[in-house]
Amino acid sequence: MRYIMHRLVLYIPIILLVTVLVFLLMRVIPGDPALLILAGTSGEGSFNKEDLVNLRRTLGTDRPLYVQYGTWVWGLLHGELGTSLFYRTPIKKEMGPRLPATLELACLAMLVSVVLAVPLGALSAVKQDSLLDYGARMFTFAGISIPIFVTGLVVVYLLVRLFNWFPPLGYATLWEEPWTNLQQVTFPTLTLAFFELNFTARVTRSAMLEVLREDYIRTARSKGLVERRVILLHALKNAALPIITVSAWSLARLLGGTIIIEKIFLVPGMGTLLLDAITARDYTLIQAIVLFYAVVVLTANLVVDVLYTWLDPRIRYA
Amino acid sequence: MNRQAGSEGDGEREVTRRDVLKTGLAASLGLGAASLTAATLTPAAAAPVYGGHATVLSYAFPEVWDPHMGGNLAVTAAVSPLYNQVVEFNPRNPSEVIGDLATNWEVMDDGLTYIFHLHEHVRWWDGRDLTAEDVAFSINRMIEPGKPRPRVGLLRPYVQSAEALDRHTVRVHLNYPSPAFLHFFAVDYMKVVPKHIVEAGVDINLWENIVGSGPFKMKGVRRGESVTLEKNPNYFKKGRPYLDRLTVITITDKGTAAAAIKAGKIQMTLPGPLGVDDVLKLEKDLKGQYTLYWQPVTNGQHFFPNVEREPWKDLRIIKALRLATDQHEIQQAFGAGKYLLGAPFPPDSWYGSATEELLKLPGYRLPKARDIEAAKALLKAAGYDPPAKLGKRVLTTPIASDLPDLAQLWAAQMRRNLGLEIEVKLVDGPTGVNAFTAGDFDLGIWGYGYNIPDPDDWVNAIYGPGTRNYPRWRNPEFLKMLDQQSREVDRDKRRHILRKMEELLLTVEDPYIPNRWLLWFYLVSDQVRTEAGPFMPPETVQTVLKQEHWWLEKS
């Protein structure tokens, strides 16, 4: 418990740093939300200077930066994410309906990638330098090399080209319309999982190769244990630590991947919301989403830290 | 023909034509001919099919929901089906203006007063009656001084005020008799909004607060993705709309958009995000399933300087750059041969030069060498010998469509033909527009898609006191003619004035370097049917967007 509390305390300055970085970053990049509201994202709207000044005042973007930052952080401390600058709606209301789609995609992709990557990596290690190992290494290397948006576009292209099929438009949640939801998330999930499994498989392979050379594996074999028990109970369990370490990082990568994948497959999740918010320079919304991602990633790291202590009790006493 | 729609349309046409003819405005408005054409239409459509869910592709998600605050097609595409206008362009004959809320209208005082008679039994979604008070309130709101009115503000030069005469009659006072007024009034931004809601302080710029009267009601909104509308069961036009549900979806990625179309998920595309090359390929791939409909040119694009700044105060310099611009190369590079030559007025339109005429003129003719020499001579006369003495110029280029590519090509032409150095400064669209509006630029590139084909829109916006005269060019002689033509109700006389205006631009001075005229397109499923048969593209992208006039044939 003390260990967890210690980790939690460490996260406070990290969160603060994230708030400062995202706040400043948005103010540094060119663009003005008032301008975008008046001119439209396509720049077609007409307005005069007075309109612009008035709107900046209404939005509060004309105030000094430290005042804007202070107001935002004060709101956060009171559990208020604020209001979208562009649409003037509560941010909670904007993010709420988007969360299930992104979490569903990220969690499913994580599950699929682990289920496929760990056996693939383990087999590759066990059958080192075999045809299977070469095949798996080529597959994973290619997977790591191909950017996720390319994979996404290729999947869309192939679905239409080969099957004249595109996922149904208009996202449906799993509990509303399970069949539609399944059709909508299957291919984005597989694309994301492909993006992630290669990395996890390579980590699993190298961790397994290391463990398989350990004395205790040799001992287990010499005791006459069947190979499956050696691999699953002795080798894989001891190789799990680096795999779990990367899985927290995987979640961060997957959340990043959802941004582009949601856009390609038209899934209305947090990723598309973030992209739209960036296009509209919706500062408050961008800040809230990035902060949310940061909290999710930190929480995943915390879970991993706790798992460490369970898998390797020595960590608790270190 | 569908009975309800036909009877309603017939009634409107007769009265409209008679009234317009009676006031002597028919020729200038072009409504007489348009009405006759409409009257002789023989709809080829079979019986309409009710029900179904159609998806229309839009290039962007609406930034605003208040129709009077709307500035672009993304807004009207989503908002138009929710409200009504007083008049609208006829979906079955897109150049004709017919009544929407108006059953008919009278033009009085030599065109200075319009009296609109409204349909009875029109209801807002909240059950309140839509009356003349709402209409008068909305018109006065459109021209309200000091408020941002990106498109509806087009009415400001024409409309003095509006008032309700009784529950179903509205009188509109004009500043001067104008052949363009009714056409502007029929554009899809000119929506009637509920007076009782707006006056109660409800922000109709939030979609949740919308109380409309239109053929569709709001069903749901997914920010950045789609707007789903459902049929208004109490719509005052019996038998309309045909669709049960309509989704206006935003897909910004071309590949995804093309894939969704190929899989039959989208029944109609509005302009963007697909380019000409994309739709031509899709048309080929989807032959027999989709048809590509082209609109006449409606969007002119140009390079321009800030003529209030040196060295551009001397318009000989911009003329030199215009002469050195290779229009033919631009034509070859963009638009798959579909775009027209850049010209002051829309080429081949009733008031613009014909393409054949343009091709004989300096700046357009071939070979180019002669014009390049003339350009150098002009620059020399202006004190820039060699032309590089102009120094490095900066071309502010909004990142929109293919403008960055076009800007690069032009900069290369100027380097090649005159030895000029032009730096292309890329900015996002709104930043670019802000720079143009504030005069904070050296050279710029942008364009304007007009709302109606009437020259009062394009010429006023670009060369007159309109909002798009970014070069800040003021030529008294030109402005005098602009005013004259705007008030001229005789179409031939008006055309004569406009031809003189274009001649001035082509031969004396023009602050722009027109680079091309774009034409938009609609890729439409062959399942889409209207009362007039297959889909008919409207005259401009800002019209006929209520989507109440078409249905989906069952496949």
The CA–CA distances, whole Å, from B50 to B55, B292, B444 equal: 15, 24, 49
Coil, strand or helix at B106: strand
Count CB neighbours of B377 within 10 A. Answer: 14
Restricting to A residues 17-76, those with a Cβ less than 8 Å away from any Cβ of B are 30-32, 35-52
CA distance A81 to A186: 32
Cα–Cα distances in Å, from A72 out to A6, A54, A60, A82, A292?
27, 21, 11, 7, 14
What mean pLDDT is reported for chain B? 90
Cα B205 to the center of its chain, rounded Å:
22
With CA atoms as reference, the chain B residue closest to A47 would be B148
Give which of A196, A181, A187, A131 is closest to A157, Cα–Cα.
A187
- Collapse the DSSP code of B245 into the 3-class scheme (helix H, G, I; strand E, B; otherwise coil) and give the result: strand
List chain A residues with CB under 8 Å of B55.
169
Chain A: give the shortest CA distance to residue B288, in Å.
15
Q: Can you name the residues that pair with B426 across neighbouring β-strands?
A: B397
> How far apart are the CA of A87 and the nearest CA of chain B, in angstroms?
7
Which carries the bigger pLDDT value, residue B193 or residue A250? B193
Confidence class of residue B18 from pLDDT cuts 50, 70 and 90?
Answer: very low
Cβ-based contacts of B63 with chain A (< 8 Å):
36-37, 40-41, 86, 280
Q: Is the pLDDT of residue B132 over 90?
A: yes
**Between helices B455-463 and B491-503, what is the axis angle to 10°?**
30
Best-predicted range by mean pLDDT among A38-42, A170-174, A175-179, B201-205? B201-205
CB contact under 8 A, A43 and B428: yes
Q: Using 50, 70 and 90 to split pLDDT, how confident is the model at A55?
A: confident
Q: Which residue has the tokens 């001084």?
A: B145
Asked if B431 lies within 8 A of A266 by C-beta distance, the reply is no
pLDDT digits 0-9 by tens, A255-284: 889 999 999 998 989 999 999 898 888 999
Residue B448: in which H helix or E strand, if any?
strand B443-449
Residue of A nearest to B146 (CA): A51
Residues A163-191 have a mean pLDDT of 90
A85 and chain B in contact, CB less than 8 A: no
Cβ partners under 8 Å of residue B219, min gap 6:
B228, B229, B230, B245
d(CA B526, CA B515): 34
Residue numbers in A near B189 (CB within 8 A): none
Query: Percent of chain B, pLDDT > 90?
Result: 80
Interface mutation vs chain A, best among B223, B249, B286, B401, most A CBs within 10 Å: B223
CB A279 within 8 A of CB A87: no
Beta bridge partners of B230: B217, B245
Query: What's the whole-number average pLDDT of chain A?
Result: 89
> How far is the alpha carbon of A203 from chain B, nearest alpha carbon, in Å?
33
Task: Taking residues A243-264, report their average pLDDT.
Answer: 88
Which residues of chain A lie closer than 8 angstroms to B433, CB-CB?
39, 43-45
- Residues B439-469 have pLDDT tens digits of 999 999 999 999 999 999 999 999 998 878 9
* Span of B6-20, B79-93, B324-338 with lowest mean pLDDT: B6-20
The answer to whether B225 contacts A268, with C-beta atoms less than 8 Å apart, is yes
Q: What is each CA distance from B390 to A162, B380, B414, B422, in whole angstroms?
A: 57, 11, 12, 10
Contacts of A268 in chain B (CB under 8 A): 222-226
H/E stretch holding B492 reads helix B491-503
Q: Does A36 contact B60 at a Cβ distance shorter than 8 Å? A: no
Q: What is the 3-state secondary structure (H, E, C) of B374-402?
A: HHHHHHHHCCCCCHHHHCCEEEEEECCCC
Find residue B191's DSSP bridge partners: B85
What is the largest distance, in Å, between two alpha-carbon atoms of chain B?
A: 73
pLDDT of residue B383: 96
The secondary structure element, H or E, covering residue B117 is: strand B113-118
Q: Is A35 helix (H, G, I), strand (E, B) or coil?
A: helix
Residue range B93-111: mean pLDDT, rounded: 95
What number is the ipTM of this complex? 0.79
Token pair 């003495």: residue: B389
Chain A residues with CB inside 8 Å of B265's CB?
A: 166, 168-169
Residue B125, CA distances (Å) to B79, B87, B147, B160 in order: 15, 20, 27, 30
Angle B271-B277-B278 (CA atoms, 0-180°, nearest 5)?
65
Look at residue A317 in the predicted model and tell me its pLDDT. Answer: 55
Where are any strands of DSSP class E within B270-333? 290-305
The one-letter code for the residue type at A177 is E
Which of B78, B42, B40 lies closest to B61 in space, CA to CA? B78
**What residues in B contact A275, CB-CB < 8 Å?**
224
Q: Which residues of B touch A39 (CB under 8 A)?
A: 71, 429-430, 433-434
Q: Which residue of A has its CA nearest to B437?
A: A48
Peptide bond between residue B311 and the one before it cis (omega within 30 degrees of 0): yes
Q: Are strands B393-398 and B443-449 parallel, antiparallel or unpaired?
A: parallel
CA distance A15 to B554: 56
Tokens found for residue B160: 């003095």
Residues of B with Cβ-Cβ distance to A168 under 8 angstroms: 265
- Give the DSSP H or E segment for B459: helix B455-463
CA A51, A56, A61 angle in degrees (round to 5)?
Answer: 170
A–B: how many Cβ contacts below 8 A? 151
**In 3-state terms, what secondary structure has residue B37?**
helix
Residue A64 pLDDT > 60, yes or no? yes
User: Between B203, B225, B433, which is nearest A43 by CB?
Assistant: B433
Among B294, B335, B189, which Cα is nearest to B524's?
B294
Q: What is the mean pLDDT of residues A157-175?
A: 87
Q: Are A268 and B398 in contact (CB < 8 Å)?
A: no
**Residue of chain A nearest B272, judged by CA positions:** A42
- Site of tokens 């590089």: B388
Q: Are residues B429 and A41, on separate chains, in Cβ contact within 8 Å?
A: yes
* pLDDT score, position B555: 60
- Kindly state the DSSP code that residue B130 receives in the 8-state scheme: P
A positions 137-176 inside 8 Å of B (CB)? 153, 156-157, 159-160, 164-166, 168-171
Cis bond leading into A242, ω under 30°?
no
Q: How many CB atoms lie within 10 A of CB B367?
A: 7
| A272–chain B Cβ distance below 8 A for any pair | yes
* Other CB atoms within 10 A of residue A24 CB: 12
Gap between the Cα atoms of B2 and B311, Å rounded: 62
Q: How far apart are CA B411 and CA B420, in angstroms?
A: 8
Choose the closest CB to A42 out of B74, B224, B427. B74
Distance separating the N- and C-terminal Cα atoms of chain A? 15
Query: CB neighbours of B105 closer than 8 A, spacing ≥ 6?
Result: B15, B16, B19, B87, B99, B114, B115, B116, B117
Among B154, B203, B207, B222, the strongest candidate for a mutation testing the A interface, having the largest count of A CBs within 10 A, is B222
Residue B283 corresponds to which tokens in the numbers above? 């048309």
Q: Place B45 in a pLDDT band, splitting at 50, 70 and 90.
A: low
Question: How far is residue B345's CA from residue B505's CA, in Å, rounded to a whole number?
Answer: 9
> What's the DSSP call for residue A30?
S
Q: Do A164 and B263 touch (CB under 8 A)?
A: yes
A101 touches B at CB < 8 Å: no
The pLDDT of residue B3 is above 80 = no
Categorize the per-residue pLDDT at B39 as very low, low, confident or very high, splitting at 50, 70 and 90: very low
Give pLDDT, residue A318. Answer: 54
Interface test with A, best of B428, B441, B460, B555 (most A CBs within 10 A): B428
Band (pLDDT 50/70/90 cuts) for residue B13 is very low
Strands B113-118 and B159-166: unpaired
pLDDT per residue as tens digits for the range B134-156: 999 999 999 998 888 888 988 99
CA distances from A140 to A137, A200, B326 (A): 5, 9, 51
Give A176→chain B minimum CA distance, Å: 15
Q: Which residue has the higher pLDDT, A32 or B101?
A: B101
Q: Is the pTM of this model over 0.90?
A: no
The answer to whether B259 contacts A46, with C-beta atoms less than 8 Å apart, is: no
Task: Tell me if B160 sits within 8 A of B181, measured CB to CB.
Answer: no
- Distance in angstroms (rounded) separating the CA atoms of residues B528 and B553: 6
Which positions in chain A touch B429 (Cβ < 8 Å)? 39-44
Shortest Cα distance from A81 to chain B (angstroms)? 18
Distance to chain B for A157, nearest Cα, Å: 7
8 Å CB contact of B265 and A169:
yes
Question: What distance in Å separates residue B327's CA from the closest CA in chain A?
Answer: 25
Question: Chain B residues with CB inside 8 Å of A270's CB?
Answer: none
DSSP state of B489: -
Label residues B68-106 b or e (16+ Cβ within 10 Å = b): bbbbbbbbbbbbbbbbbbbbbbbbbbbbbbbbbbbbbbb
Question: Token pair for residue B258?
Answer: 């093309």
User: 């049929």: which residue's tokens?
Assistant: B231
One DSSP character per residue, A144-197 reads HHS-HHHHHHHHHHHHHHHH---PPSS---TTT-HHHHHHHHHHHHHHHHHHHH
> Residue A182 has what pLDDT?
93
Separation in Å, CA of A31 to nearest CA in chain B:
7
State whether B430 and A280 contact (CB < 8 Å). no
**In this model, does residue B293 exceed pLDDT 70?**
yes
Q: Which residue of B has its CA nearest to A263?
A: B253
Q: Residue A55: what residue type? A: L
Q: Which residue of B has its CA nearest to A35?
A: B430
**Is the CB of A88 less than 8 angstroms away from the CB of B249?**
no
CA-wise closest residue to B375 among B329, B334, B413: B413
Q: Which residues in chain B are closer than 8 Å to A47, comparing Cβ atoms? A: 148, 150, 437
